Amino acid sequence: MTVPKLALTENTESALAKTRADVVVIGTLQGEDGPVLAAGAAVADAAFDGKLAGVLATLGASGKAEEVVKLPTLGKLSAGVVLAVGLGKAGKDGSVTAEQVRRAAGAAGRALAGTEKAVVTLSAIDLQASVEGTALGAYAFTEYRSEPGDAPVAKVDFTSPEDGAARDHKATLKAATAIAEAVIIARDLINTPPNDLFPASFADRAKKLAEANGLEFEVLDEKALKRKGFGGILGVGGGSARQPRLLRLAYKPAKAGAKKVALVGKGITFDSGGISIKPAAGMDHMTSDMSGAAGVLASVVLAAKLKYPLEVVAHIPLAENLPSGTSYRPGDVLSMYGGKTVEVLNTDAEGRLVLADAIVRAGEENPDYLIETSTLTGAQVVALGNRTAGVMGSDEFRDRVAAAAQATGEGGWAMPLPEELRAELDSRLADLANITGQRWGGMLAAGVFLREFVPEGLAWAHVDIAGPSFNTGGPWGYTPKGGTGVPVRTIAAVLADIAANG
């Protein structure tokens, strides 16, 4: 799916009268005595003689977060419907956060399904959040449905903030649209079923995106992986007839000497657990075990579209973890890329094995920063729930990435890497084992394992998105059921921060 056609318009009575639209979207705040109209709603309110809030209250509106109330305009506006969406409570100073706007716009985007054109006034509060929220809320993955239902809204005009900075508004619209498109690239990949998305087909899709966006592209097949010694990727992918791959995609800016950022994303296109097989219940969700790879692919494409003054290089290990006569086994010892050996105690702890190979490969190019992400552990969900990613790594950069995750609304929390856990990974046969002998601190132990493969002194962060990458419940805000596209917006924010501040 692509985003709706997005444009800017003025928020004036004459502009709204000239703009032919089906729906005008306004924001409401949750006041003590009922809904309060948010910034941007004045023109619509004037059409109702200043009584729009009272009419909405009569219809049961309160302004609570993500509440949607529709009201026919009866000819008072050129649009036939006013859609009022709740922002929730304002801060003590009357302010509204970007995430409140983003979620409200997302709820509106979903409610606009079947609409040809809408005008959104939430942009008077925050243009970027309004664009991102509307585009992502309108998302629907219907490729495999014989009857897809109502199409997402086709066109959306956003009213320009009244600060006169028209050039800045156009740049904001362009950036927000590109970010939403990148998230949608990731969502579409995650939602594609594993019979159609496997290592080779993922590589084909990545190649097309690379060619369309001027990226360097390289793929190593199983023969090249064996020749070069990528024992982790080969071990995990050896049980499937659909053999593993390792992708490298690179964006290089026109100006030489830019900072280099390496991205690594786990691409297990389906995870049965291998010989250490998972329970049947919920195994269908393991189609999302390549969410890290999808996010990293989308992020390097975004870097090219927005022309970040950075060199961004993505390394994406792809494998399908299945049980068969050629599967790796508990008790095997794998020789990893770079020479370290790992004793396999559980074949369902496979993500760290493919990541380790890719991390070492990424380190060979001497990046200034490394961001890697994956659906690493179920322990992340136990510790932080389904909406908050765990961020581990070198302290300063870890905190920087976690702060970006929180600022974008994707959510992230800095987690430690306790030194005592390293001893739990000692192996009787190899340099280290792939799991500890006890259940506690599973996310942290996985992070400690990965740290063994990160070059000394490299600013590094791992984002564990086991919960946030795939929504098994109902949609909320701008988050649909299924693939979410987390952490594309976090990576985008970190890249922008590095571009601005080094």
Positions marked active-site = 278, 352
What is the DSSP track for 52-89? Answer: HHHHHHHTT----TT-EEEEE-TTSSSSSEEEEEE--P
Q: Which two tokens stand for residue 130?
A: 């309004």
Q: How many CA atoms lie within 13 A of 292 on its CB side?
A: 34
List the Cα angle 190/195/200 in 5-degree steps: 80
Q: If DSSP states are collapsed to H, E and C, what string results for 320-364?
A: EECCCCCCCCCCCEEECCCCCEEECCCCCCCHHHHHHHHHHHHHC
Which residue spans within 121-226 are E strands per DSSP?
Answer: 155-159, 216-220
Q: Please, where are the H alpha helices in 229-348?
A: 231-237, 291-306
* Helix, strand, coil percentages, rounded to 5, for the chain: 35, 20, 40
First to last CA, the chain: 34
Q: What is the dihedral of CA 463, 468, 470, 475, to 10 degrees?
A: -150
Q: Which two tokens stand for residue 202?
A: 């993922």
Contacts of 420 (CB under 8 A, 6+ apart): none
